[in-house]
Amino acid sequence: MKWILSLLGFSPKSQSNLCSCGSKRITKSADVIVWGTVVTLTNSPQCKNCTETFLNKWATRCDKCGNPICTGEAVATGKHPGTYIHLNLCCTPVPDQILGHWGEGKLVPYEYRK
Ligand SMILES: [Zn+2]
Ligand SMILES: [Zn+2]
């Protein structure tokens, strides 16, 4: 199964084309494997190897489809307390519980302004 990662919250902070390890960072479509699932990225602050390590470390499991929720993806609450699901048409047909996006192993809530 191919999973397209939305890059909200996971975009490069600097203009450099290099990862912190010295390799070229991902600047065009690249596939990385997260928990056995192919995730396609178009952009990353890191190179392919570092991105793969990073996402495998910090992903969480979607309570609906069982695929990984990667850093940068929008999430909604799952049925059970403390669980999260992808915010997309497959997992969240009715997007009424937008929570935020997945960060480094934890939720980064959206800030609502009054
Ligand atoms: Zn790297
Ligand atoms: Zn899902």
DSSP β-ladder status, 60-61 and 30-34: unpaired
- Say how far apart CA 105 and CA 7 lie, in whole Å: 16
Q: What is the pLDDT of residues 30-81, one digit of tens each?
A: 999 999 999 988 888 889 999 999 999 999 999 999 999 998 888 988 888 8
Cβ density class 53-66: b for 16+ within 10 Å, e for less: ebbbebbbebbbbe
Q: What is the pLDDT of residues 86-99, one digit of tens each?
A: 988 888 876 567 67
Contact between 47 and 26 under an 8 Å Cβ cutoff? The reply is yes
The pLDDT assigned to 13 comes to 55
* Higher-confidence position of 21 and 112: 21
- Give the number of whichever ligand sits closest to the CA of residue 75: 2
14 pLDDT band, cuts 50/70/90, is: low
2 pLDDT band, cuts 50/70/90, is: very low
> How many angstroms separate the alpha carbon of residue 25 from the centre of ligand 1?
7
> How many angstroms separate the alpha carbon of residue 25 from the centre of ligand 2?
27
> How many angstroms separate the alpha carbon of residue 71 from the centre of ligand 2?
14
Is the pLDDT at 104 greater than 60? The verdict is yes
